[in-house]
Structure 1
């Protein structure tokens, strides 16, 4: 279950490096795909929760960093919550 980072570009062209405790994030998000904001938030949440569950199955407890990353994504996304054209692009898996 190798951990990895993924870099995203927000609607204002800023970027963030996000953390995943599992490389399965690559299965959930497509590189260079512009996701509608709400779709990106939902897909990220589902993928990070799944990764945390995998950690729990292996070690007996979920990944706190994954939970923190979900909160960070949701908080950042709130900036554009009223913009129906807002998109988020995954620009790299690192």
Structure 2
């Protein structure tokens, strides 16, 4: 199963390298685009849940790294939830 990493930039300018056990992230994000915080988190939930489900279908257990990445994104995103114009940029994909 091909895994990938993708780099995002939070509204405060901090960048973060993220993990997915599947290339499905490419179906939800485009490098160079920015997304409203709520949209970014919703897309992340969908993509990383699908990725984890694919691992579970193949290996019999969900992907703890994908679910951990999602928890990290949701926790970090929560710190920007009071900013109605907060956007998260997807900078690159690294396969």
> TM-score under structure 2 normalisation?
0.96
Deviation at 1:48, TM superposition (A): 0.2
Instruction: Provide the C-alpha distance between the structure 1 equivalents of 2:24 and 2:83, rounded to a whole number of angstroms.
Output: 29
In the alignment, what sits opposite 2:54? 54
Q: Secondary structure at the match of 2:12?
A: coil
Instruction: Provide the C-alpha distance between the structure 1 equivalents of 2:28 and 2:34, rounded to a whole number of angstroms.
Output: 14
Q: Secondary structure at the match of 2:13?
A: coil
Gaps of 5+ in 1: none
In the alignment, what sits opposite 1:85? 85
Q: List structure 1 segments (4+ residues) > 2 angstroms apart after TM superposition.
A: none
Residue correspondences, number: 94
Cα deviation per residue 1:31-81 (whole Å; 9 max; x = unaligned)? Answer: 111100010001001100000001111111110001100100001111110
> TM-score under structure 1 normalisation?
0.97
Q: Tell me whether 1:40 sits opposite 2:40 in the alignment.
A: yes
Instruction: Provide the C-alpha distance between the structure 1 equivalents of 2:17 and 2:89, rounded to a whole number of angstroms.
Output: 12
Deviation at 1:90, TM superposition (A): 0.4
Gaps of 5+ in 2: none
